[in-house]
Structure 1
């Protein structure tokens, strides 16, 4: 028998304020058509004044726990992916732990920007298969609106805020690709590409958070190749092929990147869970948001084989193969 980390609950939270592309036409030299044709984004959610990453993460966590039929007392660990924490420290994960009333176990943050949730899933999987935790709450939460330069039309129109959460539980499988749960992970990074996506500030440099800066065209060229390679690498580790995939649940950054990756894998777009049009790029929150929305829509069903893949600043990229 083989221990698998099985998804038993999923949930999400989105701020109330919805900002359509047309709102940017009032302050920037851009149009709804320009944003849609280049990114696929039509609208995004923006956190209210005073609304924080931890608050959104707590709301998503509660939704996932409800979906799983569990309480905070049933959770052994919280692994949270974010690049926009409430404070330099403590971790957002410990703030979620407190907010849920969880007084046992442990909690920590993972920082891999847009690839953060994939890295968090891989860490949670390792905790479960090593026996350090039986149930892990894995969260992606971001308030990227707080690090936007609202005069930079090439970046500020692309991002949004939100949170998603997944509950993983240790269950016994047969050790075959037919098992439910995480079947394989693949993680990568290359710090030589730092300047393609970064924030121009930090504690040890400017003592401020800074603003997001991106070389969009250069990043696009890296993304499709690296995302395809990592997805196929994870499938190979799991003993599976592209044709076995029921759904790609990608990082929701750009419709052209998503479509390019699906095409290279030979998977039709009607097998891709898409939320980028409604949420924009929510960084580490985008994959759990898409998982939750995909389940709510009736797209993702128990037994389906999913591939999640993401690339973000670092550069950091990776994928997870999971049977729902």
Structure 2
């Protein structure tokens, strides 16, 4: 039995925020002191490190549950299934529904319950719940769906990664330029084919690393604002990822029985272009190999970092032939990998 992706869909917001849109922002350091460079220099250095030229933001009247629903509809249509036959709806996110202009996250009911409501599914045996696992949330949702199906308690699961980080960014923090919005969804089923999840691995590091990404106050200390914003220690995350993600990917690949030369694509969380490239090179170095050309498709340049949505959105674009020099075919071995708040790491080796 294979636990196979039979349908996929994504929602990429129409709102484009280019790097130039940050030219008039007032950036401060964490201690509230003014940033030591002019904005054009900050933006130039940011682009060189992250690879991000623009990112996508949702419209004011939308929330995370809305875009999760949009992606889910596409995945269900792509799988050509009756939505009433879904056993689980698993939605990975981190901040719930934050409506435009509000200061509070809304997580009651869960995003999964809201998606099920939007889909107008009547079957009460279709269970919806949320996963809070940082950026690796969609990958972890896939691992959970795999467990449900392998155990026999489910036949079909809908796994969604959706986030609207534009609602939780501090405009006075340089790191705000990293984040974006988006959603990706997959229908996962038990099939008789040899395709599907071959192996997986997950880990949570918290002894020193738990608060590398956190919710904190604005860098502009003159603001009388009770709001909290997404914050991170970028250098610590970079070092953590390089020291741990390649080893997790190797563990997963070795467990699958496939070899490094069998690997056709690496779908890695779109966190930072330089970091992802360094992870890939270190991963291949563990096998004394050099990465092949086009092995790692990237969307961060145009779509930014939409957290849990990056991997399924990337997979959807490649699957649908919407990325130059990128394609996958039946029987290809690919790997999904992610790292994020928690600090969590996970990977899946998958046969298309």
- The alignment's TM-score, normalised by the length of structure 1, stands at 0.92
Report the counterpart of residue 131 of structure 1 in structure 2: 152
How many residues are aligned here?
Answer: 310
Any conservation in 2 of the 1:122–1:185 contact (CA below 8 Å)? yes
- Give the secondary structure class of the aligned counterpart of 2:141: helix
Query: 1:220 Cα deviation (Å)?
Result: 0.2
Q: Deviations over 1:217-266 (max 9, x none)?
A: 11100112211111111111111222211000000011111111211222
CA–CA separation in structure 2 for the residues paired with 1:147 and 1:308: 26
Instruction: Pick from 159, 166, 170 the counterpart of residue 190 of structure 2.
Output: 170
Report the counterpart of residue 84 of structure 2 in structure 1: 73
Query: 1:100 Cα deviation (Å)?
Result: 0.7
Report the counterpart of residue 240 of structure 1 in structure 2: 258
Query: 1:302 Cα deviation (Å)?
Result: 2.3
Write out aligned runs for 1:9-24 (5 A). Answer: 9-24=7-22
Query: 1:172 Cα deviation (Å)?
Result: 2.7
Write out aligned runs for 1:153-302 (5 A). Answer: 153=174, 155-173=175-193, 179-192=194-207, 193-200=209-216, 210-266=228-284, 267-297=291-321, 299-302=327-330
CA RMSD in angstroms, aligned pairs only: 1.5
- The alignment's TM-score, normalised by the length of structure 2, stands at 0.85
CA–CA separation in structure 2 for the residues paired with 1:38 and 1:197: 19
Report the counterpart of residue 319 of structure 1 in structure 2: 347
Q: Which runs of 5+ in 1 are unaligned?
A: 174-178, 202-207
- 86-95 vs 138-147, which deviates more? 86-95
Q: Deviations over 1:176-218 (max 9, x none)?
A: xxx20011110000122122111138xxxxxx76211111011
Cα distance change, pair 33–88 in 1 and its aligned pair in 2 (3 A): same
Query: 1:5 Cα deviation (Å)?
Result: 0.9
Cα distance change, pair 186–209 in 1 and its aligned pair in 2 (3 A): farther
- Give the secondary structure class of the aligned counterpart of 2:192: strand
Q: Deviations over 1:63-95 (max 9, x none)?
A: 111111223123221111000212232211111
Report the counterpart of residue 204 of structure 1 in structure 2: none
CA–CA separation in structure 1 for the residues paired with 2:163 and 2:148: 24
Report the counterpart of residue 58 of structure 1 in structure 2: 69
Extract structure 1 runs of 4+ deviating beyond 3 A. 28-32
CA–CA separation in structure 2 for the residues paired with 1:35 and 1:286: 19
CA–CA separation in structure 1 for the residues paired with 2:328 and 2:87: 26
CA–CA separation in structure 2 for the residues paired with 1:88 and 1:182: 30
CA–CA separation in structure 2 for the residues paired with 1:226 and 1:265: 10
Report the counterpart of residue 143 of structure 1 in structure 2: 164
- Give the secondary structure class of the aligned counterpart of 1:300: coil
- Give the secondary structure class of the aligned counterpart of 2:294: helix
CA–CA separation in structure 1 for the residues paired with 2:47 and 2:347: 26
- Give the secondary structure class of the aligned counterpart of 1:286: helix
Any conservation in 2 of the 1:9–1:166 contact (CA below 8 Å)? yes
- Give the secondary structure class of the aligned counterpart of 2:172: coil
CA–CA separation in structure 2 for the residues paired with 1:273 and 1:139: 20
Any conservation in 1 of the 2:204–2:344 contact (CA below 8 Å)? yes
Report the counterpart of residue 117 of structure 1 in structure 2: 138
Any conservation in 1 of the 2:247–2:283 contact (CA below 8 Å)? no
